[in-house]
Structure 1
Amino acid sequence: MSTFKLPHIRKRSCRPYPESGAGTVEYVIVVLVAIVIGAGLLAFGNQVSGQVSKT
Structure 2
Amino acid sequence: MRAIYRHHANGNEAIKNLVSALNVTEHTLHFVMRETPRGWHHSEQTEQPTSADA
Please classify the TM superposition score into its range, dividing by the shorter chain length.
Answer: under 0.3
TM-score by length of 1: 0.24
TM-score by length of 2: 0.24
Q: Relative contact order: is structure 1 or structure 2 higher (C-alpha 8 Å, sep ≥ 6)?
A: 2
More helix per residue? 1
Larger of the two Rg values belongs to structure: 1
